[in-house]
Chain A
Amino acid sequence: MDALMEPTLYTVKGMCILDNDGNRILAKYYDKNIFPTVKEQKAYEKNLFNKTHRANAEIIMLDGLTCVYKNNVDLFFYVMGSTHENELILLSVLNCLFDTVTMILKKNVEKRSVLENLDIVMLAFDEICDGGIILDADPSSVVKRVDLRNDDIPIGEQTVAQVLQSAKEQLKWSLLK
């Protein structure tokens, strides 16, 4: 029975970001008993991707894990937990992961910007979950601790190219929405 499970803070079994071919961009697994090797992890990710990339359905149970997910343009975000876990707690972790990444990438949530800012995204993973324990689930406080870049050049000092680039991005995003 569920209720007799030992209460524990170890809630999250894994978190990952995949691209739109189901390839891993970043993934962390916190329980050594599930998928001990990277090969098994990647096989699971492929399977998960195949089952989820067309149906935008938010939650799935697969291979004994409850997995909540979300996608944006060419990225898929997943948070996994045991099937006994409170699904809403997992969802709060997923939302935190997604919102944090959105804030870090300044709304350009796509593969290219994740790779360009991979260091900050790695730090965000580390601040959201520590060894399976939810460390923080509030995106603004996570961002405050990881996004320490001081590249916010005031608009007057940006080069013409930079302004044009950001205008292009904004146009692209308004069209895609």
Chain B
Amino acid sequence: KRDKKEEEDACGNLFQNLEKTAVLQETRIFNDTPVHAKKCTHILTKILYLINQGETLASREATNCFFATTKLFQSKDVILRRMVYLAIKELSPMSDDVIIVTSSLIKDMTGKEDLYRAPAIRALCSITDNTMLQAVERYMKQCIVDRNPSVSSGALVSSLHLSSQAGDVFKRWVNEAQEALNSDNIMVQYHALGLLYHIRKTDRLAVTKLVNKLTRQTLKSPYAVCFLIRIACKLIEEEDASSASPNSDTSLSLFEFVESCLRHKSEMVIYEAAHAIVNLKRTSPRELAPAVSILQLFCGSSKATLRFAAVRTMNKVAMLHPPAVNVCNLDLEGLIADSNRSVATLAITTLLKTGAESSVER
């Protein structure tokens, strides 16, 4: 029995007593030809594990390690190649001259192997700076409209990351993003909407147009619908704040869209819509009712997260419109003894705002 325990400990310690310098020494075998794929994958895993545990590499150590890793592009082993991309992303912030892998990555991202393409794009964008962006622009545009969803998503997400540092180049990718928005893949649609909004967000007219168009068609992706609800709410708030008549047509039709999302088939979207309605300044107590009854329904869910989300939102309603929550007092009382303590606490504080003396006694 003891043997078994020791054996398990030894396995559990697979990565426990690693020495940084020893592991970095091991990268020497990256130079061997042919490449030992299994061994090299394991060494890369050890390096990434050490970094993840908080080990710091000096710039020279990281650079040496980075250059050794680039030798592994010779191997065709898929897992090893994927680990190389990961290592490039992790090591590039600490190393110098990381742009030497640009051509290898461009080769992979434009190559035939789909399993390489998406992660190669993401690795490439992590080392790309403003000056290089021009060179990769053509490939990025192609990848955004690629038929393979992971390639398309990878390119869209990378563009968004790049946009924080690179000025205006990505604004020329609107057409491609627009095309990706029509994708059948739910993640591609979500990422495309995210990028489009980011490109246009300073132009209110363009955003309004985009939202109006999308609220009339049905987006397939629940993530995209949640995002659309958030954009719509932002427009409603801005519209109400700027125009003289608080109930303009735009703001009204947008509100109708958010309200219609209460009948969506995805719980995620229903909750997003209810949450939005509760938080909008313009919502009248009458308009609150459908949102509150959705939240009331969620209070009885078997998922703690759903109950939590519901009470937390109700808690907010109770601050502004205590009467609107009164109808839920019984449901809230049921949650006082909830197995999740946060849910119980929130239920109690909400009740304190809405409850009458009678319920306190119970």
Q: Is the CB of A111 within 8 A of B12?
A: yes
Query: In the assembled complex, which residues on chain A have CB atoms less than 8 Å from the CB atom of B53?
Result: 24, 38
Partner pick for B223 among A41, A55, A126, A134, CB 8 A cutoff: A134
Size class of B's contact patch?
Answer: 35 or more
Q: Is the CB of B340 within 8 A of A118?
A: no
A107: CB under 8 A from chain B? no
Pick out which of these stretches binds chain A: B66-74, B285-293, B298-306, B326-334: B298-306
B141: CB under 8 A from chain A? no
- As a 0/1 sequence over residues 108 to 128 of chain B, the CB contacts with chain A under 8 angstroms (1 = contact) are 000000010011001000000
Partner pick for A57 among B89, B158, B190, B341, CB 8 A cutoff: B341
- As a 0/1 sequence over residues 30 to 48 of chain B, the CB contacts with chain A under 8 angstroms (1 = contact) are 0000000000011011001
Shortest C-beta distance, B162 to chain A (Å), equals 11
Q: Is the CB of B303 within 8 A of A58?
A: yes
Known A115-B15, A136-B187: A88·B122 in contact at CB below 8 Å: no
Q: Is the CB of B304 within 8 A of A58?
A: yes
A177: CB under 8 A from chain B? no
Shortest C-beta distance, A65 to chain B (Å), equals 13
Q: Is the CB of B279 within 8 A of A91?
A: no
Kindly report which residue of chain B lies nearest to residue A3, judged by CB atoms. Answer: B279
Q: Is the CB of A59 within 8 A of B11?
A: no
Q: Is the CB of B227 within 8 A of A9?
A: yes
Q: How far is the CA of A134 from the CA of B237 in the complex (A)?
A: 27
B150: CB under 8 A from chain A? yes
Give the interface SS of chain B, mostly helix, strand, loop or mixed.
helix
Query: In the assembled complex, which residues on chain B have CB atoms less than 8 Å from the CB atom of A149?
Result: 79
- As a 0/1 sequence over residues 12 to 24 of chain A, the CB contacts with chain B under 8 angstroms (1 = contact) are 0000000000001
Q: How far is the CA of A46 from the CA of B71 in the complex (A)?
A: 39
A116: CB under 8 A from chain B? yes
Known A7-B230, A88-B268, A136-B153: A61·B119 in contact at CB below 8 Å: no
B161: CB under 8 A from chain A? yes
Shortest C-beta distance, B33 to chain A (Å), equals 22
Partner pick for A145 among B14, B15, B115, CB 8 A cutoff: B115
Q: Is the CB of A86 within 8 A of B281?
A: no
Q: Is the CB of B223 within 8 A of A59?
A: no
Q: How far is the CA of A92 from the CA of B12 in the complex (A)?
A: 29
Shortest C-beta distance, B304 to chain A (Å), equals 4
Chain A CB within 10 Å — which of B52, B83, B161, B197 has the most?
B52
Query: In the assembled complex, which residues on chain A have CB atoms less than 8 Å from the CB atom of B8?
Result: 112
B132: CB under 8 A from chain A? no
Known A2-B279, A115-B12, A116-B11: A88·B267 in contact at CB below 8 Å: yes
Query: In the assembled complex, which residues on chain A have CB atoms less than 8 Å from the CB atom of B49?
Result: 26, 118
Give the contacts of B143-160 with A (CB-CB under 8 A): 150, 153-154, 157-158, 160
Query: In the assembled complex, which residues on chain B have CB atoms less than 8 Å from the CB atom of A137?
Result: 187, 223
User: What are 30 sample pairs from A and B whose C-beta atoms fall under 8 A apart?
Assistant: A3-B276, A4-B234, A4-B237, A7-B227, A7-B234, A9-B160, A24-B52, A27-B52, A42-B54, A55-B339, A57-B341, A59-B305, A59-B342, A60-B342, A86-B271, A88-B268, A89-B226, A91-B305, A112-B8, A115-B11, A115-B14, A119-B44, A122-B86, A123-B83, A123-B86, A126-B119, A131-B161, A133-B160, A133-B194, A134-B190
